[in-house]
Amino acid sequence: MIRKAVLNDVNAIHALLQFYARKEELLARPLSILYDHLRDFWVYEDPDTGKVVGCCGLQFCWEDLAEIRSLAVDPDFNGQGIGSALTERAIQEAFYFKVKRLFTLTYKPAFFEKFGFSVIHKNELPIKVWSDCVSCVNFPNCNETAMMKQLRIEDAAPIG
């Protein structure tokens, strides 16, 4: 079941991000930042156990721009469509908020291509994005790929 994250989910989100950060597949985020940004997050709750096994954040950036970030699915649950469902929910939410351009910085460009994201040059992103980057351990030698999706209003689906 996909739902908005609540305070009790922060430790599970943190653990998922830490797990993949250790494998250098995404960036870890401190607990403090996760609490600040909790309302960005969707989570997937396993209906059998109630455990949070996936997460995805939609973070607003500028007047027409938002970012999909911190997408992670517990490896025991990979390949079941959870990552796709979380991504689609975040895209729907972006439509709801009238985002026109959605970007992501990712090590998995092939995954995001399935959702209509295309590779762009990092310089196309606004300076504000780099405020996060400069505090990253990998700055300035980041291998993440920048990708963008234009949101056309006629493609919007009703938010559930």
Ligand X SMILES: CC(C)(COP(=O)(O)OP(=O)(O)OC[C@H]1O[C@@H](n2cnc3c(N)ncnc32)[C@H](O)[C@@H]1OP(=O)(O)O)[C@@H](O)C(=O)NCCC(=O)NCCS
Where does this chain bind ligand X (CB under 6 A)? 20, 25-26, 71-73, 78-84, 106-108, 110-111, 114
Complex with ligand X: residue 48 or 63, whichever CB lies closer: 48
Please state, in angstroms and as integers, the Cα–Cα distance from residue 44 to each residue in 8, 50, 63, 103, 138, following that order. Answer: 13, 9, 28, 22, 29
**Token pair of 80 as six digits:** 């079941």
Complex with ligand X: residue 4 or 114, whichever CB lies closer: 114
Q: Please state the closest distance from residue 56 (CB atom) to ligand X, in A.
A: 8
Q: Please state the closest distance from residue 77 (CB atom) to ligand X, in A.
A: 6
Instruction: Determine contact, residues 77/41, Cβ cutoff 8 Å.
Output: no
Q: Please state the closest distance from residue 72 (CB atom) to ligand X, in A.
A: 4
Among the listed residues 90, 122, 93, 92, the one whose alpha carbon sits nearest the alpha carbon of residue 106: 122
